[in-house]
Structure 1
């Protein structure tokens, strides 16, 4: 088990002057070569502004107007929240990211996760994040076998029963990675968020299922066994407002934009990218979501097990809005 703790004393919204800056202040620069943004001529800016004004005049449909504003002035594409949610105040806190080794033994996985959460809390973490599918092997054959009925109560879902107990006992917030969930005749990939009182605060069902076929590399179709969720999940916790996604959800900027427009301070993505997609996109997508939305992004993967049927990439990370790694597990 690897547990990564970071201090989030700077977990506050950057002012517009900073958020629009192209400078990156990092002790470990990505490149030694300076990166320059070309100056856009004034006449070009005026041309696009005129085109935008013409579109505003010509277009009457609400949905089309949003599309045009997104194309010409992206900041105008952010709609107000459907409900006037009051954002909780932010305080200095630590995040524990628990990159767990997963086995076919559910009881062992639950005990391992409990110990990791306790260790993180002992080190001062007030928020702990677990990986995607941490209670069982990640496989289409395994999802029906290991699925738990979360709504039926603790006896039917030992994984979430543990999360409820430990969050209440330690007085911490837990973003409980994800587990296979059974609801009626359907299976979901589900993340549960528990508050400091041990109560279930939110349940996010993976919206974008992982269907991929890269010849000679990897083929996996979650949609063979799982049903896609339909609802974005944003939750107010003792440490701030959190937007939740699972793995493949991170590829879709629109979901992150919804969370940003509704006042999220942090995006949490439990994920299990593999040895093909991991080195290609995992870190890139984390940084993109953080910079695009000027938010902190926490990701948590299962530990890499080269003997498993599905080998996770690992590299659980916390990224800041200025494109800097605050901490990570390998």
Structure 2
């Protein structure tokens, strides 16, 4: 269905995330298709959602899933795009590595819950956007109050200045936003943190990876 949708609409399509079985292991996986309907990238969620907030939520994703072991980015005629899934957004180093690889848009399909969503969903998006001076888009399922896991919703786009440029509430809705790549360059020139980093004191490196 995702392949057909990308091909029929002549778009790049980032297909949320689905369970994927490989070699007896299960992964939380996001697939990406080009306008020809070809699979061009596949991100396996790197950080598993194992948390315990007393009295509010306990979740152990590692009881079922295995973590992915690689970053995922892909080229388009417009810019490079980096992919993360949900909990991955909390780990700033991943976004920094994508920025070092010259991504100008990061996309995180995710489903924060009713505890972490109102507290951190938008805050994390804006933080990653400001830290790396790029666009961050998050895509959440609409809220289903009868589900065993209730999503916060609020699909959102934050720009390189940390402003929310598009968002919605928790209901099912399509969110549109123009990604202004010239604005990315403007912000990076106005506040040149990329050239001002003290690489003699600190630096984030990507280690060897596998699929």
Q: Which residue of 1 is the match for residue 131 of structure 2?
A: 292
Q: Which residue of 2 aligns with 1:314?
A: 153
Q: Which runs of 5+ in 1 are unaligned?
A: 1-161
Aligned equivalent of 1:210: 49
User: Paired residue for 2:21?
Assistant: 182
1:323 positional shift: 1.2
Task: Tell me the residue number matched to 2:63.
Answer: 224
In 1, distance between residues paired with 2:26 and 2:78? 31
The structure with the largest helix share of the pair is: 1
| SS state at 1:168 partner | helix
Q: Which residue of 2 aligns with 1:196?
A: 35
Task: For 2:19 and 2:43, locate their aligned partners in 1 and report how far apart those are by CA, in whole Å.
Answer: 12
Structure 1 residue 233 corresponds to structure 2 residue 72: yes
Q: CA deviation at 1:202?
A: 0.3
Secondary structure of the structure 2 residue equivalent to 1:231: coil
The alpha carbon displacement at 1:189 in A equals: 0.2
Aligned residue in 2 for 1:269: 108
State the distance in 2 between where 1:198 and 1:238 align. Answer: 16
Q: Which structure 2 segments of 5+ residues have no match?
A: 170-211
C-alpha distance after superposition, 1:21-54 (max 9, x if no partner): xxxxxxxxxxxxxxxxxxxxxxxxxxxxxxxxxx
Cα deviation for residue 167 of structure 1 reads 0.4
The structure showing larger relative contact order (alpha-carbon pairs under 8 Å, at least 6 residues apart) is 1
Which of the two has greater strand per residue? Answer: 2
Where in structure 1 do 4 or more consecutive aligned residues deviate above 3 Å? none
**TM-score (norm. length: structure 1):** 0.51
The 5 Å alignment of 1:17-56 reads: none
Q: CA RMSD for the aligned pairs?
A: 0.7
Q: Name which one, 1 or 2, has greater alpha-carbon Rg.
A: 1
